[in-house]
Amino acid sequence: MRPAGVGRHAGRGQPVTEKSIPTRDRLIFAMDVPDCDRARALADELGEAVSFYKIGLELMMSGGYFELLAWLLARDKKVFCDLKFFDIPATVGSAVRQLKDRGATFVTVHGNQSIMEAAAENKGDSLKVLGVTVLTSLDRGDLDDLGFDCDVGALVLSRARRALAAGCDGVISSGLEVPRLREFIDSKLLVVTPGIRPVENKPDGGQKRVVTVEKAFSNGADYIVVGRPIRDAKSPRAAAEAIQATIAAQVEAA
């Protein structure tokens, strides 16, 4: 018997719609560009096609990161700070505490139980902490190199259970592993899925475990993160709108 509260949508071809998530917020655009000027120009080009942005380490190191965060918030955008905090628990807790009042919606933590607990204890009321399970750039061979003696799915499930127990709000997970999360973990867990390709194709740019938009949501993802397929399109706005239309169709069909 499935434990109470565990997700019910896995395997039914339905997205997880029981959470109150605006449909257009389910697309998170990965703003993977070299500097903040380029980020602002791209955000202006995308306009209303994107309401949620992920800004990560590349932009952090370019300078002006928090100014960009404030600029996006001033335009009524949501922001995911993908910084993958990994350090001793006290340092991670302090870093999350410094971020909690800056208006971001999500932040990522990449660490063990005590690191995730420190992040969760310091996140405040509005910032949500997402635990990284297994990067979508890793496959079975990479896990062997890292010394993990288990398959990818088992590791993702274990880390997701630990993240929820630590007080995290959700996890980052490839769409390939989401069905197991929905089957065995409380449905309140937020699942954010990167490694999205709008059509079936070969992995690229270091991504090895990828899925389509439709597959991500039919497997039970709450949000998807899309970067290159939008950024590198002839018309980024048209590409984003096409993905938004696909998401809307998935939600409406549920």
Task: Please write the tens of the pLDDT for every residue from 101-123.
Answer: 999 999 999 888 999 999 999 99
Q: Which residue has the higher pLDDT, 174 or 44?
A: 44
Residue 139 in any domain: the answer is: yes
Residue range of the domain that includes 197: 24-253
Per-residue pLDDT, 1: 38
Residue 235 in any domain: the answer is yes
Q: Let me know if residue 203 belongs to a domain.
A: yes
Q: Do the domain assignments include residue 4?
A: no
pLDDT band of residue 38 (cuts 50, 70, 90) is very high
Least confident of 27-36, 79-88, 149-158, 203-212: 203-212
Contacts of 139 (CB under 8 A, 6+ apart): 152, 208, 209
Does residue 82 contact residue 56 with C-beta atoms inside 8 Å? yes
Which of the following is catalytic: 54, 78, 84, 123? 84
More confidently predicted of 136 and 112 = 112
- In the annotation, is 84 catalytic? yes
pLDDT number for residue 12 = 43
Using a 10 angstrom Cβ sphere, with 0-12 exposed, 13-18 middle and 19 or more buried, the burial of residue 1 is: exposed
Consecutive H or E run containing 107: strand 106-109
CATH code for the domain of 151? 3.20.20.70
pLDDT at 222 > cutoff 50: yes
Residue 108 falls inside a structural domain:
yes
Residue 138 has pLDDT above 50, yes or no: no
Token representation of residue 122: 């310091």
Which range among 77-81, 155-159, 240-244 shows the weakest confidence by mean pLDDT? Answer: 155-159
In a domain, 182, yes or no: yes
pLDDT top residue among 177 and 165: 165
Please say if the pLDDT value at position 10 is more than 70: no
**Residues 169, 192 contacting (CB under 8 angstroms):** no
Domain count, the chain: 1
Domain annotation covers residue 11: no
Residue 2 lies in a domain: no
